[in-house]
């Protein structure tokens, strides 16, 4: 248990937020990227990146060093963001299929989502970009609390034709996937990131006097690796081809973030708008992202080990920022752990809503970002395929750890000390058998609570 002093601080802050929200409820903007590593941004130390707008966003509020996705792959991570639950409890434990019939179930009918909560509180809600939480009627955005949807249901689409295609992997469909609400729209050859930005700006301009939630889910820098010349030209032609394209795709996102922030300022609502940024999972090493079919190295999870689809830190520790000018102190770097599932209860608190009903796994991190309180989490858990992990304090236990092309792992039990060895190169399990047993028991007790959740 945390100290009584911390609980008092959080309670007092909650009362203050509630009073402020009654006076003027904030708008919320979520910026979500796809397969972007923590080593792909200037503010996280990437000297080859060109991300001035995201760097400024980090400077305007909090940059998190220990913020997590709740899954190393996209659909489950997005389910946690939207529901405040661990992926299995949200009913989306793995990546959802993409089908031309648009009948893939994802989020359950009547699922509680951040959009539904804010919609019920009088917010206008919109998602622009990648959904990937189900294309069946009951799982679509408008059935899950969003007033407006512009984007695609699939895991990815070609950036110019807006088509999804996977050949030679048991699936031969090629499908066009771009929609405004329930109407299919045709934008080719417009570049996907720029179309998403255009629609996000339109949503802000059309907001009238109503507070809003805007979820901007970029498809980039997920494969196929495509970037217009104007972004490629920002990087030297001598740069590694895959790295250059990857960073060019992120540069397009960075321009978009700058345009959204400029529009908020132009409308005079920048200081009453909360902005949260996160990637869905770490950079991938999938060969289909590489121009020559090799293990992809265009994205960077440095200094962490591993990639997308793995529970080493490289797959789940995310670049993340939270800004609310005048409310969240600027230029903060916070190393307390948090996760995507915390956004639902945190935004509810900032909107002055009462605490969510039981069943929400996320925690309100308002006190953490506004008054430097400790993390509200005693531990954070993960489960993906055969891998299971728990972080408590500086220690992280990983069972059935993954191997990647640059490192084969033979151990079935891996214990990391993230303070002494953030790159997880050393396995502390042999010298800490008691701690392994303790964390394993914690993990098993948590797993037992997931029964029937998926």
Residues 151, 90, single domain; the answer is yes
Residue 66 in this model has a pLDDT that exceeds 70 = yes
Determine whether 132 is an active site residue: yes
User: How far is residue 100's CA from residue 171's CA, in Å, rounded to a whole number?
Assistant: 11
Residues 215-262: tens digit of each pLDDT: 999 999 999 999 999 999 999 999 999 999 999 999 999 999 999 999
| For range 280-288, the mean pLDDT | 97
Total structural domains in the chain?
2
The pLDDT, as a whole number, for residue 209 is 81
What residues contact residue 302 under an 8 Å CB cut-off, 6+ apart?
Answer: 37, 38, 39, 45, 46
CATH number at residue 262: 3.40.720.10
Residue 423 domain boundaries:
381-449
pTM of the model: 0.94
The pLDDT, as a whole number, for residue 166 is 78
Residues 121-168: tens digit of each pLDDT: 999 999 999 999 999 999 999 999 999 999 999 999 999 999 999 765
Residues 212, 203: contact at Cβ < 8 Å? yes
Residues 366, 408, single domain; the answer is no
- CA-wise closest residue to 131 among 78, 70, 62, 194: 78
Measured over the CA atoms of residue 428, residue 432, residue 434 and residue 435, the dihedral's sign is negative
Residue 170 lies in a domain: yes
Determine whether 246 is an active site residue: no
Name residue 382's beta-bridge partners.
389
Residue among 43, 53, 88, 132 flagged as catalytic: 132
Average pLDDT, the chain: 93
Residue 259 lies in a domain: yes
Residues 282, 382: contact at Cβ < 8 Å? no
User: Of 378, 409, 436, which one is at a domain's C-terminal end?
Assistant: 378
Residue 451 in this model has a pLDDT that exceeds 90 = no
User: How far is residue 235's CA from residue 403's CA, in Å, rounded to a whole number?
Assistant: 32
Residues 133, 50, single domain; the answer is yes
Residue 17 in this model has a pLDDT that exceeds 60 = no
Residues 289, 305, single domain; the answer is yes
Residue 454 lies in a domain: no
Mapped onto helix, strand or coil, the DSSP state of residue 58 is helix
| For range 7-15, the mean pLDDT | 47
Q: How many CB atoms lie within 10 A of CB 229?
A: 7
Residue 11 in this model has a pLDDT that exceeds 90 = no
Among 162-171, 174-183, 263-272, whose mean pLDDT is lowest? Answer: 162-171
Q: Where are the beta strands (DSSP E) in 259-331?
A: 273-279, 317-323
The pLDDT, as a whole number, for residue 4 is 41
Residue among 43, 74, 88, 377 flagged as catalytic: 74
Residue 140 lies in a domain: yes
Q: How many CB atoms lie within 10 A of CB 259?
A: 16
Mapped onto helix, strand or coil, the DSSP state of residue 388 is strand
Residues 28, 124, single domain; the answer is yes
| Start-end of H helices in 272-312 | none
The upper half-sphere exposure of residue 294, i.e. CA atoms within 13 Å in the direction of its Cβ, equals 7
Long-range contact pairs involving 75-79 (C-beta distance under 8 Å, separation at least 24): 75/106, 75/132, 75/133, 75/155, 76/384, 77/280, 77/281, 77/340, 78/32, 78/131, 78/132, 78/133, 78/217, 78/280, 79/106, 79/107, 79/133
């Amino acid at each position: 248990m945390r100290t009584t002093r911390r609980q008092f601080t959080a309670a007092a802050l909650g009362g203050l937020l509630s009073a402020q929200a009654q006076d003027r409820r904030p708008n919320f903007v979520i910026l979500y990227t796809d397969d972007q590593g923590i080593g792909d941004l200037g503010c996280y130390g990437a000297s080859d990146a060109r991300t001035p707008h995201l760097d400024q966003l980090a400077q305007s509020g909090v940059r998190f060093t220990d913020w997590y996705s709740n899954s190393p792959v996209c659909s489950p991570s997005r389910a946690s963001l939207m529901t405040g639950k661990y992926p299995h409890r949200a009913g989306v434990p793995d990546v959802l299929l993409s089908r031309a019939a648009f009948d893939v179930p994802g989020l359950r009918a009547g699922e509680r989502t951040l959009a539904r909560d804010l919609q019920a509180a009088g917010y206008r809600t919109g998602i622009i970009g990648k959904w990937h939480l189900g294309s069946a009627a009951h799982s679509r955005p408008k059935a899950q609390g969003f007033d407006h949807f512009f984007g695609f249901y699939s895991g990815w689409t070609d950036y110019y034709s807006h088509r999804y295609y996977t050949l030679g992997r048991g699936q031969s469909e090629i499908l066009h996937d771009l929609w405004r609400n329930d109407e299919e729209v045709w934008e080719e050859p417009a570049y996907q990131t720029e179309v998403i930005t255009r629609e996000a700006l339109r949503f802000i301009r059309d907001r009238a006097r109503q507070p809003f939630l805007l979820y901007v889910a970029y498809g980039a820098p997920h494969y196929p690796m495509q970037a217009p010349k104007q972004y490629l030209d920002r990087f030297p032609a001598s740069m590694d081809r895959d790295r250059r394209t990857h960073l060019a795709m992120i540069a397009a996102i960075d321009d978009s973030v700058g345009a959204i922030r400029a529009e908020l300022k132009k409308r005079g609502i920048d200081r009453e708008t909360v902005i949260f940024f996160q990637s869905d999972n770490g950079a991938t090493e999938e060969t289909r992202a590489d121009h020559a079919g090799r293990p992809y190295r265009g994205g960077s999870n440095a200094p962490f080990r591993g990639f997308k689809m793995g529970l080493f830190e490289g797959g789940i520790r995310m670049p993340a920022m939270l800004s609310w000018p005048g409310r969240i102190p600027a230029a903060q770097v916070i190393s307390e752990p948090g996760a995507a599932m915390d956004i639902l209860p945190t935004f509810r608190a900032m909107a002055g809503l009462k605490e969510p009903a039981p069943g929400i796994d996320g925690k309100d991190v308002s006190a953490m970002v506004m008054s430097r309180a400790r993390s509200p989490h005693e531990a954070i858990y993960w489960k993906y395929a055969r891998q299971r992990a728990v972080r408590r304090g500086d220690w992280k236990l990983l069972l059935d750890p993954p191997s990647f092309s640059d490192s084969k792992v033979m151990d079935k039990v891996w214990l990391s000390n993230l303070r002494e060895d953030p790159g997880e190169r050393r396995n502390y399990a042999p010298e800490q058998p008691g701690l392994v047993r303790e964390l394993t028991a914690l993990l098993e007790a948590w797993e037992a609570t997931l029964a029937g959740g998926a």
